Structure formats: C-alpha cells, structure tokens
Amino acid sequence: MRKLIECVPNFSEGRDMSIIRQITDQIEAVSGVKLLDVDPGAATNRTVVTFVGSPDEVLEAAFVAVKKASELIDMRKHKGEHPRMGATDVCPLVPVANISMEETAEYARKLARRIGDELNIPIYCYENAAYLPERRNLANCRSGEYEGLPEKLSNPEWKPDFGPAEFNPRTGATAVGARDFLVAFNVNLNTTSTRRANSIAYDVREKGRVMREGNPITGKIVKDSNGNQVFIPGTLKAVKAIGWFIEEYGIAQISMNLTNIGITPVHIAFDEVCRKASDRGIRVTGSELVGLIPLKAMIDAGKYFLAKQQRSLGVDNEELIKIAVKSLGLDELKPFNPKEKIIEYVLEASEANRKLVQMTAAGFANETASESPAPGGGSISAYVGALGASLATMVANLSSHKRGWDDRWEEFSRWAEKGQQLKDQLLYLVDEDTRAFNMIMEALDLPKKTEEEKAIRAQAIEHASLYAIEVPFKVMQTSLATMEVIQAMAETGNPNSVSDAGVGALCARLAVMGAYLNVKINAAGVADKEKVATYLTLGNEIEQKSIEKETEILAKVNDIISSLSR
C-alpha cells in the first residue's frame, strides 16, 4: 500500500501574501504532493502550511519550499508574537498511512541533512528525529530564538545536527523533526454553559484540573514547594482540552487537541467525554472534526463501535466510515464528506489517474475488451483473486450473524477482517499491474541516440521489467494467502454458503495461475537471470500449493453439499 506522510512547515512570514504564495507554488509544482492548507497569521507573522504525499515527493517539496523561503524571507527584519529562529522555523514530518514513526524520523533526518548541506542553514533535529535527548523538545532547540543564535551556535553543546555552526543572519536556523499526527476534535454538548463544559474538559484532559483544599471549586489552590500549582491529572493521555460556547451553533463544546491518536484515538476521547458529561447530567449530542484526519483513525473508530455492538468488523472501509460518522455524530452540525475530510481520499481525488478499481463492473470489462493492451491478464488475475477473497469474507460475515452462533461472532469477525485486508491488497495490485506494464512502455520510449541515453534506457527497462515480475508474484502470494480464509469458511462457516467458499477457491487458484503466466512472460525482459530463476522457482511452488489447496477445499465443499441434500 502507498506510504503517506504529511509535512507542516512553519514559515516566518504571515503578512505578505505574495511571498507566501511563491513558497506554496514551489510545493504545488512537485508531482505527487497535495497542498492541504495554508494558514497565515498577521500577529504572529507566521504561516503554517500543510501538504501530504509519498515520502520522496514530500521531501522534495519541503526542500524547495525551504529554499524559496531562504531566498524571500530576511530574518533581520522579522517581528512577530510567536517564538521563532529561522525563515523556515520548523519543518515536522508526520506519518499518515502505511509508514512507521521510525521510518518517518529517518526521512526527517534525510531532509535535515540535505537542507544543511545544500542551503548552508543550521539544522536541529527534534522530537522523534532528535539525535540527543535534550533536543527532543522543540522549545529547547528554539531557546534564545533568532536573536540568541550567534551565542548558541558558538557553544559546542549546541552544534547543529546538520549544516554549519555559523550564524546566517538572513535565514537563521531551522528545526526539522518527526511528530505524531494531531487531530483537532470538538465534542458537542446539550448545554450552553461554558463553565460546565470546562469542568468536563478538565476531567478528561491530560493536564487535568488545579488541586484545591476542601471544596474543589472554591477551595484554596494547592501549590508545591516551588510555588507551582499542583494539578489532578485527567483521564486521557496526549489530550489538551477546554470548554467553550459556540454562538454560531448555540451550544457549548469540549474543544480537544488529540496530540497522539496512537495513544488516545478519536473514538476513545469521544466515549470518555460521553461518560464524564453523563456524570454531570449533560448529554453529548455529536462532534465536529476540524481539519483532516487519516483514514486509519476513521477505520479504527468504525471497528470500535461495531465491536461494542458485537458485530463483525470485517466490512469494507465505506461501511466502517459510515458507522464511525454516525457513532461519533460527526454529521450533527454539518454534512461530513469523507472525500473532503479524510487525507487519503483528498489526495486520491487530486490525482488525475483513473483507477480501474473505481470503474463499474461493466466499465472494467469494456476497458479490458478494448484495443488498449492494459489492463491485461495480470490485472484480471488480481481482480479475480480479490473476488475470491470477497466471497470468503462474505461467508465469514454471514456466519458471524447466523442465528444461534452469537458466541462465535468474534471468531468469524477475525476471519472477515483478514479477508478484507487481502481483498484490499489485491484490489491495489489490479491497478499496480497496469502501472507496471505502463512503466515498461515508458522505458522503451526513452531516447537511445547516445551511449549515455542507451545506458539510462537499458537501466529503466531492467527496473520496469523486474517490477512487472514483482507485482504478479505478489498477486500469487496474496491469492494463496486467501485460501486459508476460504478453507476455514468451507470447513467451519455457515454450511448454507459453502458453495460460495468453493467458488472463492476456484477464483484464488485461477488468480495464482494467471499471475504466474505474467511472471513467466515478463521474465524474458529481465537481464538478471539469477533473480528470474528465483521468482520462477518460488512461483512454481506457489502454483502447486494453490492447486493442492483448491482440491482439498472443493472436496470439503462437495461433501457438505452432498450432506445438505440428503
């Protein structure tokens, strides 16, 4: 699946829109990157920009944006309310989908090195990208701000992680880091009281509320030996919250920043606010998402609420999102459009490529039957494999809802979830196989007049041909994996749906064999014969296993059908 990261650079210019526009133009010029938001602030004289894309494209967009900012923003003239130390003050990377924090941190360090080396800007790596514990905290890296940089850079303890240990009066210094995704999330209450909303906010936020002697509202504030206020922690980690009244809606809300949705997800925050509000005689009526959210956060929420209903979690993403929206009440104040609020969907909508899997069944068949060479057998094999996984998932979901099998819903839910995952992988490979074919065509079209051009073309053909083997080989592996789910459903699922499991087995075996044909035909174009031999050997083994599994499953299916007809 495609890896996605978000980048949220803060530039020290919030008043001159022509400068801001020139910087964001650089970002938008990078293919594969989607500019999500530009938020300038006049008082802070600072603009927060948000964009998302694949890691390499995001790094390129971040670099050209930092470069343009270094050319246009002169820190010697900068005044603003917000702490800052450079033309690009901070540049954090945030994992969004299919990428770990550790990987994101490495990308941040790669970006930091390039900015330091090529632009001669002192760089400090912070949060998860920090090399030193004391540099994890951004406030430490930025201490002294721009004005304190000459002294700071002369201190060996504050030697930059990358770039020169010299004061650059025009650009200052930049902090590059990797941090968790922050979600701005408001919970709606059936009250107009800000005080009562604040009480709930203090109950749940990590910081909690001030400790008082005796009466928790009017009692004397407790302080420690240093004279600092003592707080009673709230129930939710990585959550900041306050209560406020929204005149536009005529209600009070709990306004929350979920600073690490891996620690406190949206659905957990919502349910906890519901509990604390109920304790105070107040009812939660819905919620509001400010900005965008990763797809996984919505999927996790949908699964959480389905599990509370003891229903199968193995349903498609669209259904999970619908469950999440209704359970969280995200559509109470205004319609919630997933294509505008979920990062992956926003990015997908901005890409011009038409996806095969988004076509109708008739449209896909017609496209295949056209004079275009793609989609071909590889994409069809992946799609047939996806249908096999879908049939197995259907049997699992039907079994989880079968009357009298209520105590087995989790068992079948786990199988359905696995089937959905395999189905999604195979659907991804439908388009990826066509993309692999197009890569070969593009490589063949490269110029070949000079020796250098010939070498570049040959390398591109080799790379594309190898990828054209890797994709159908992945189809083979994934389709074989679906047979585990299919077999389990044939043996333990609802017997009335056993024929569907049998058809699923036929689909899976066909997908394996069809994909293997594509592995073999594309092998001819690869110069690395050792790699080719490995793929062919492993492919043959997978093909034989799929045939054996199909035989086992069909035998079981026919036995059950025979017993049902007696």
- Burial class of residue 42 (count of CB atoms within 10 Å of its CB; 0-12, 13-18, 19+): exposed
Instruction: Give the model's pLDDT for residue 352.
Output: 46
| CA 349-2-507 angle, 5° bins | 95
- Name the β-bridge partners of 91: 176
Question: Where residue 524 falls among pLDDT bands split at 50, 70, 90?
Answer: confident
Catalytic residue set: 82, 433
Kindly give, in sequence order, each residue whose CB lies less than 8 Å from that of residue 416, ignoring residues fewer than 6 positions away.
312, 313, 314, 315, 393, 396, 397, 400
Please check whether residue 78 is in contact with residue 84, taking contact to mean a CB–CB distance below 8 angstroms.
yes
Q: Strand 174-178 to strand 88-97: parallel, antiparallel, or no bridges (unpaired)?
A: parallel
Helices within 260-408 (DSSP H only) = 266-279, 295-308, 317-328, 338-341, 343-350, 361-369, 377-400
The two three-digit tokens of residue 273, written as one number: 């606010």
Q: What is the pLDDT of residue 161?
A: 97
Average pLDDT, the chain: 93
Q: Name the pLDDT band for 170 (thresholds 50, 70, 90).
A: very high
25: Cβ contacts below 8 Å, ≥ 6 apart? none
**Residue 246 CA neighbour count, 13 Å, CB half:** 17
Please compute the mean of the pLDDT values over residues 14-35 and round it to a whole number: 94
Cβ atoms within 10 Å of 43's Cβ, excluding its own: 10
Mean pLDDT on 144-151: 94
* Percent share of the chain, pLDDT over 70: 99
List C-alpha distances in Å: 182 to 207, 239, 257, 519. 17, 10, 7, 43
Judge whether 425 and 480 are in contact, CB under 8 Å. no
Tokens of 501: 């499991």
Interior angle at CA 58, CA 53 and CA 60, nearest 5: 145
Query: How high is the pLDDT of residue 181?
Result: 87
- DSSP at 353: P
Residue 353 has pLDDT above 60, yes or no: no
Domains annotated on the chain, with CATH: 4-178 (3.30.990.10), 183-347 (3.30.70.670), 353-564 (1.20.120.680)
Give which of 303, 495, 493, 506 is closest to 393, Cα–Cα.
493
- Decide which of 329 and 262 is more confident: 329
| pLDDT classification of 351: cutoffs 50, 70, 90 | low
* CA-wise closest residue to 68 among 22, 109, 113: 22
Q: How far apart are CA 23 and CA 121, in angstroms?
A: 17
Question: Residue 549 above 80 pLDDT?
Answer: yes
